[in-house]
Amino acid sequence: MELNGKQKRYLRSLAVNIKPIVQIGKSGLSNEILTSIRSACDARELIKVNILQNSDETATEVAESIEEMGLDVVQIIGRNLVVFKVADKKENRKISVDVKNLVK
């Protein structure tokens, strides 16, 4: 889903109050971490990913890998990323309904 400016601003405002769910450490960005990011997005739609200080990964490298999976990186601040994906299950779609209503 391609997000416009209003939609990104709305998602960033929601992300202020959430804590990072996934942390990337010194083992780097493995398939297990990518799978956990995808499953967390399916359950919650909007998550934060934290890259720890001892990791060799940069935020832009992680963002590229996440976007290759079909997820939207809404914001990168330092070593934190805000990631959004419309949930596959209808009962988990809470945020995406509001995001779709924010079309120009």
Residue-wise pLDDT for 33-72, tens only, equals 999 999 999 999 999 999 999 999 999 999 999 999 999 9
* The overall pTM is greater than 0.85: yes
Looking at residue 104, what is its pLDDT?
60
Q: Which domains are seen in the chain, by residue range?
A: 5-98 (3.30.110.60)
Give the pLDDT mean for 85-99.
89
The Cα angle at residue 96 between residues 6 and 79, in degrees rounded to 5: 70
| Helix orientation angle between 31-44 and 59-68, rounded to the nearest 10 degrees | 70
Angstrom CA distances, 85 to 12, 28, 52, 57, stand at: 14, 22, 23, 22
Query: Helix (H) and strand (E) counts for the chain?
Result: 4, 4
